[in-house]
Amino acid sequence: MIIECPCKKKKFNIDINLIPAEGRNLQCGSCDRVWFYKKEDPIPETLQIKEEIAIQENVNSEILNDDKSNDQITKQPIDENKKTKSELSAIKETKSKLEAIKKTQSSKFFSYLIVFIISLGALIILLDTLKAPLMNIFPGLEVLLFNLYETLKDIKLFIIDLS
């Protein structure tokens, strides 16, 4: 079955058996968009059996050799086994993609946290460097900076005590 991403950039060939009747979330490998997809119920068409074709198939089936029918019966479980293996590999691939997405999200959080800590440190260094000119403009800044430095020393002592 061919499914198209809502962004209309990519189409995917997906085994229909991998999508349950209640639907499931799919993710585009091109734009990383996730959307819910539900199978559309095909409209059942009434089949008409022609008697001539049915009689002709009965005659043809009697003509077939037993060896050929046995070969086909033997091949059916192998084909079903291949389908099952391909379904399992597709499910494993989907799980690994979901795990990769979770790892990416957690690594983004830590990246933002590191950027925030570095920016905070740079701001403190900048305030300390420009302390004298800033105190001329903002007279109450000296008390605030003193309290900030004392708080940073307390946090440092707390972290050392945890070790």
Digit-coded pLDDT (tens) for 16-45: 777 777 787 877 877 877 877 777 755 555
Place of tokens 């020393």: 153
Digit-coded pLDDT (tens) for 83-130: 666 777 788 888 878 777 777 777 788 889 999 999 998 998 898 899
Output 1-10 pairs: Cβ under 8 A, ≥24 positions apart.
3/37, 5/30, 5/31, 5/33, 5/35, 6/33, 6/35, 7/31, 7/33
pTM of the model: 0.35
Cβ 10 vs Cβ 28: under 8 Å: yes
Place of tokens 């068409």: 45
Where along the chain do its domains lie?
A: 1-40, 85-128, 130-163
Q: What is the DSSP string of 118-146?
A: HHHHHHHHHHHHTHHHHHHH-TTHHHHHH
